[in-house]
């Protein structure tokens, strides 16, 4: 998708083009549908954020490093977008996200339930009784568990598991950098991935 300024109207306009990608087969079958849904959602978000420039606002798109997309996935979700902490107390644009399903945040909150934390190659996952997940890629196992427990503070009580089991494994990939990140944007979607426009958005 490209975002460009229309010289005639003076407005930013989004242009979406189709591309062919190859989907790999997995033990759960071909991932073509999942990939298609991810790209469609990203295109919708980027289109809205392109058009948001016409309102003289600054917006950022960030797709979680892992987000299970399922048919009918309409669970309420809080998305927290993080920016890398740079030298001189500066923070980069919010490129990294954590999704918290079943968040009890219908009313906008002013502070992020997850504060500054260290990202890395340790994948920690908390699976709820309905198979919804909170997934974090942290520098250490303890850090991953700490972040997930912070996320759980805003999850509806009846959606949590009784044993609080968090499973962590190491992912050997250059995709996951070891950096410190800071929360920048909160977005709440009451119908999950059913729509691209959040019910509310707070910039921190």
Q: Which residue has the higher pLDDT, 102 or 95?
A: 102
Find the mean pLDDT for residues 166-190.
90
Over the stretch 105-163, which tens digit does the pLDDT of each residue have? Answer: 999 999 999 999 999 999 999 999 988 999 999 999 999 999 999 999 999 999 999 89
Gap between the Cα atoms of 148 and 3, Å rounded: 35
Whether the CB-CB separation of 98 and 79 falls below 8 Å is answered with yes
Tokens of residue 49, six digits: 């954020």
Which of 33-47, 63-77, 168-182 is predicted least confidently?
63-77
Q: In sequence order, what are the residues at sequence separation of 6 or more whose Cβ sits closer than 8 angstroms to the Cβ of residue 27? A: none
Gap between the Cα atoms of 81 and 199, Å rounded: 16
Confidence check: pLDDT of 84 > 90: yes
Q: What contacts 24+ positions apart, CB below 8 Å, involve 26-34?
A: 34/69
Model confidence at 196, pLDDT cuts 50, 70, 90, reads confident
Q: Residue 103 carries which DSSP code?
A: B
Find the mean pLDDT for residues 53-66.
49
3-state secondary structure of 14: strand
Model confidence at 71, pLDDT cuts 50, 70, 90, reads very low
The pLDDT value given to residue 69 = 46
The pLDDT value given to residue 6 = 58
The pLDDT value given to residue 202 = 93
Model confidence at 5, pLDDT cuts 50, 70, 90, reads low
3-state secondary structure of 80: strand
The pLDDT value given to residue 19 = 62
Q: Residue 11 carries which DSSP code?
A: -
The pLDDT value given to residue 4 = 66
3-state secondary structure of 101: strand
Confidence check: pLDDT of 93 > 60: yes
Query: What percent of the chain shows pLDDT beyond 70?
Result: 66
Beta bridge partners of 3: 14
Tokens of residue 138, six digits: 């942290």
Tokens of residue 23, six digits: 């989907």
């Amino acid at each position: 998708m490209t975002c460009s300024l229309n010289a005639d109207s003076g407005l930013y306009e989004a242009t979406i083009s189709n591309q062919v990608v190859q989907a790999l087969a997995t033990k759960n079958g071909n991932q073509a549908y999942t990939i298609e849904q991810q790209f469609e959602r990203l295109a919708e978000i980027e289109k809205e954020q392109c058009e948001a420039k016409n309102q003289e606002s600054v917006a950022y798109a960030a797709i979680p490093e892992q987000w299970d997309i399922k048919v009918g996935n309409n669970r309420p979700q809080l998305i927290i977008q993080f920016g890398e902490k740079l030298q001189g107390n500066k923070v980069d644009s919010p490129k990294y996200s954590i999704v918290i399903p079943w968040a009890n945040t219908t009313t906008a909150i002013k502070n992020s339930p997850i504060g500054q934390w260290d990202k890395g190659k340790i994948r920690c996952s908390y699976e709820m009784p309905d198979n919804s997940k909170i997934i974090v890629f942290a520098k250490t196992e303890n850090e991953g568990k700490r972040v997930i427990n912070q996320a759980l503070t805003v999850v509806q009580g009846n959606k949590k598991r009784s044993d609080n089991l968090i499973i962590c494994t190491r992912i050997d990939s250059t995709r996951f950098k070891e950096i410190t990140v800071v929360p920048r944007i909160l977005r709440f979607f009451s119908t999950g991935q059913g729509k691209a426009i959040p019910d509310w958005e707070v910039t921190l």
